[in-house]
Structure 1
Amino acid sequence: MIVEFLGQGLHLEEDETCGNHVCSAIKDESFTQITIFVAFLRKPGLDYLAPFIKQARKENRNVTFYVGIDERVTSKEALELLLELDTETYIYYSDSYIYHPKIYLFEGDRNRIITGSSNLTKSGLFYNVESSILLDFTNSDTSGLKIINQLKEFYSSFFDFSDPNLELLTSDYLNKLVLEDKVSSEEFSKGSDYNSNIHDNSKKRGRNPKITDLGHLEIKEKKPIKKYQSILKITEDYLAKWDYMFKKMELFYKENEHCTVPREYKDRTLYGWYSKQKQLFKAGILPKEHLEKLKTINFYFGDAHVLYWDKKWLDSYSQLLKVYKETGESNVKRYKDNTHPLFYISNWVALERGKYKIGKLKDWQIEKLEKIGFKWEMDGVRSLNNEDDWLDKLALLEQYKIEYGDCNVSQTFKNPKYPKLGKWLNDQRTYYKKKRDFLNEERIGLLEDMGVIWDMDVYNFDQRIKEIQEYKKEFGDFNIPSNYKPNPNLGNYVYRIKTKGIKENWKKEKLHQIGFFEIGTKSKKEKGGHITQNWYNNLNKLKKINNPDIKKDNLEYPKLAKWLHNQKRTFRYGRLKDEQINELKKLNIKLPARSKKRKKWDEYIEIIELFREEYGTKEITPEFDKEIYIWVNQQKANYRAKALKTEKVEKLKELGIIESE
């Protein structure tokens, strides 16, 4: 089953509106029965569907509407158009209930349901802020068929026309509705028009789509999540609310003595407003009067991370200043006892000296420290453990974290700003693992405070687990292709787990916790949907050749010719996947005839599938087809002898020929 979220109205992207998806589904010839349940129907919205409905009716496909007329939203003109389109339309009206569904049901060779908030009006289909869910599934998908059965069961009185509130739409009945004032008119006559009296015409409407742009959407498996782009602009709504939000910002400033609103702040609207001020300022479109007001509360337009680290530095400096005022000394000696009240500030002082040596202190920080008599070089002998060198590296690590956001410096990381920092950090991890005295509790504490991860294997595996979970959340399985663009290495990583397995039990347990059990269960011959990156690399090489259908004995591209020859052989024996076949066909690669043996298998399977559709789970008997009966028994014998390939076993299990274990 393919499940898609359909959103519209918040962003500029308007191609995948609910209306476009409905038009595309009506256009699709595989849907032979189209049933639409809508509360409100207006002609401008129906006009967009009309050409697709006309074509569907020409193709003898059934189109049925169940339309509501509550609150006089549905119009006379829209119902007249339905009569012209020769659709089977029923009006639902109850004195007790408001009829309010928005369901677009498509049935045929496969099935599709679109349901959500979109009524069949132009704004509802194309540019209101609306949300819907699209389900697309085959006739063998039990979960999907269950939904259709539940829907039809709920609306059973509609489908058998026994509901007393249903009335077939005819010209006479429409005239009756008009006389009883139960439907509105879309004629723009002042004082009587529903549209002018009820709708809020002060709101701007989105652009009208062109009918020629509609009906071209395809529903595909493993479609990447749509990325929306918000357009940075100053709207009338934004201006009207600005003073109100500024007062909130003033209050925040009084309470916190700064204007940096954290992402997790309790009032999320204030964080959003705060971020927008910075974006508008950066884009150079922040109104001058707003800029002046924001300056009165010391609004910071720069990177808040820098502000955070500066504030953290000032907090530590304040502690040192307090010591200076009490003792007259700012050059605090090192304390290794972490219970000592000066333990933290003594280590901070040592870190600042290290940062000064490598030029990582800001001028204003140097000035503040020197004002209280801070010395950059301390008299005395260096410690046996090269304490100063170690602290210099720790200071470098802190700078790395400020720049990159973490302390995960790779040993292969090369940057003259951070000489051999990766190796130094790896040494610390080794000392920690082997419990060397060199890395005492004091140093361990400093590194942990910095955010150092001791076991990168655990950390990296946890990151992989998160990536696998994200894929499962989006696509519903763990069958990650090797050409998965957001994370190209993830597919190969998962494939290795499935084929080679994992030795560490703790890793297996973590995989089991997320529902991943295919650990070392798949042989390399059973790639089950996995297309390697190497395959795509060869395909891309073919694309660069003027005539990609090269022969086996091609001398210019011998390796590529051999690869293509193998693809054709694989196709001949039915082992090439649909995606691979489609890619080769796009290049006009002439594929050979299928193996007769494979062709026979496909033909028999097709007959059995038809048998299942007609007779359900009944046994195939000689009376039905003796040849098929003999073939089925042969497959059962092959299965018992373990002479069938996995893909064939799965297919036979799916058809109930052999029992699932």
Structure 2
Amino acid sequence: MQVNFIGHGFHKENQINVGEQLAASFDSKIYDSFYGFVAFAAASGILKLLKSIEEAKKHYSKLTFFIGVDNKGTSKEALELLVQKEIEVYIYHRQEDFITYHPKLFLFEGKKHTRIIIGSSNLTHSGFINNIEASIQLDFQPQTDKQGNKVLTEVKTYFHDLIHLQSDHIFRLDNELILKYDNEGLLYSQFAKDRQKETQPTDGESDEPTDDVFIPEDIIFENGELPNEKNYTNKPAALTETDFENFEIFLPQFIEYKRLINPTGVINDNTQYVENRPLVNWYDRIKELIRNEILPLEFELRLREAGFPVGDGKYSRSAYIWEQNFQKLKQYMIVHKQTRAYVPQHKDNKHPDYALGQWFARQKLRRKKLITPYFLDGEFEKLQSVKFVWETMNAGGKSDDDIWLENYFQLEPVWNERVDKLKLPLQTTPVGKWLADQIANYKNETKKNASGEVLKLLPERASIIEELCGKQIWNWEQYKRETIFEQQIQAYLEFRKIYPDEIPKNGDKRFKKVLDWKSLTRYRYKGDTSPENKWRMDILNSDRVKFPW
């Protein structure tokens, strides 16, 4: 199980928040089911995730939120947006004093991977951006992780009545339910009349409204019309209403400029490619807001998402080059059939992968904050999504991490392309010998190094091999015996279904191998009480088989 802490608000260097992790999880292809249990929701929080949720809906078998409306902590607009986008939502509400529905737990499940995020963040702008929040993220494979499976079972047991829609306190969200709760005073309205500013209570903890917070995403209210385009006649140092209005007008124009003309997004004052002078003026105005440190955080988030050069041109070009290298990394993984991203460094600067190997190494240094720039929004998450190999493993077996990983990556295609799934790669091949060495190191209890330490395969390395081969790799012969024996049992039970008396009709030779196995089993194991065959005898004497001795 991998456990990560997610905190934001105390320190500026915190690069991850729950909103970003939820979006990245919805974007990931390793999950196909989601349940979210959360106390409060605001349109600004939903909009942060909307694009990712709508993409996830295309392949998720289940995507359901259970949201509360206590303490007037959920907005009418948030619920209307969820209904409009046809996202499955149930409201949990009990008409009792002093009981608040207050969880913040998000559960992602896939065929092999499970992620649980639990903490303090609601589906709100404050929960994702402004507040001081703390959460824990658990990632594990339930088939092989007993502790992870235990936690998953406990979560599902706790929320059983909600997941299975058996609670008397949950109600399917629709427009009628929104109107009912609004009339009962359970919801708050995020927007004052005739303007798009959010009057946001503090995540339902207080009925007192806070300062106006501008919605950080595109959303249409009232008649859906944007204000008329206005050019800047002069540029005051203070933020103005015109800045808010023009932001909605020119941001789409900037995105189009970046797509068609300059991928870095930089617009120089003397550019020959921009005939739209109002766009240049707006670009300069945004830069001035940045220099004066009065750019609203909501603007900055949307600008970064659009690829606006929030820093200088050099900074933006660095981000653009980073993305190009990341795409090269993904292509490298395809060519080399990797499931974990790893590019070795090459001494020969004429090697075709020399530059990519240097870039790969620099990402490790950036993570440790030994070089700048530090990761921009989304970069670290992208590297995580391809299982970037961060750590150096310099003990146990081979001491050179690069050599060990190169051998592992040679094993991956050989293992996945085996015809006989019960056979290990031959030890006469380099890959087969290397795998045999890893198994020997894993089991070793006596062989020591010069310092007298027992040479054991590092847990990090064992975990990587287990993810590819399964935990049965460490005792493969026993696994093979049990698998073959189970196949024989299945064939015997199929025979017994057709012939309950276990006497085939004349001429039916389909079960000759089964009858030979039955005879040989009776001869070899009748009365066997040896410890090494206990597993076999338990199956033969079980109620499922009831072998006729």
Which TM-score band applies after superposition, normalised by the shorter structure? 0.3 to 0.5
TM-score (norm 1): 0.37
The structure having more radius of gyration, on CA atoms, is: 1
TM-score (norm 2): 0.44
